[in-house]
Amino acid sequence: MTTPPVDGTDRHTPDSVKTLAVRLEPDIHTQLTLIAQLRSSTITAEIRQALAAHIALVKENTDLVSQAESAMAEIEREAAARREAIASLFGTDQAEMKPRTARGR
């Protein structure tokens, strides 16, 4: 992830970002404001940097990776069950109901 420009301008278009309201205790807000000022940054830029660092750290957590793999397996099992139910309901063959792959890959 790239960091926002130091001059405080926002290079993102409204369509490329999601707005998130964050409630902060007054002392945390004061500290964050001071950090942003000392770094010639913005509160938004500081929050984005902190979130990027947090996400990078979480991605290294092997327990979370295992949970994500389990979730993906459950999604696949549920999708297979739904495909079978649709095939059974409409009398279609399972081969016809399998998801299509992109051409040329």
The one-letter amino acid code at 62 reads: T
What pTM, to 2 d.p., does this model score? 0.55
Instruction: Provide the pLDDT for residue 1.
Output: 43
Using DSSP's 3-state secondary structure scheme, residue 69 falls into: helix
pLDDT (tens place) for every residue of the chain, 105 residues total: 445 555 545 566 767 889 999 999 999 999 999 999 999 999 999 999 999 999 999 888 888 888 999 999 999 999 999 999 999 999 876 555 556 566 655
Domain-wise residue ranges, the chain: 25-59, 62-94
Of 85, 37, 12, give the one whose Cα is nearest residue 1.
12
Instruction: Provide the pLDDT for residue 15.
Output: 75
Using DSSP's 3-state secondary structure scheme, residue 73 falls into: helix
Q: How far, in Å, CA of 4 to CA of 74, rounded?
A: 37
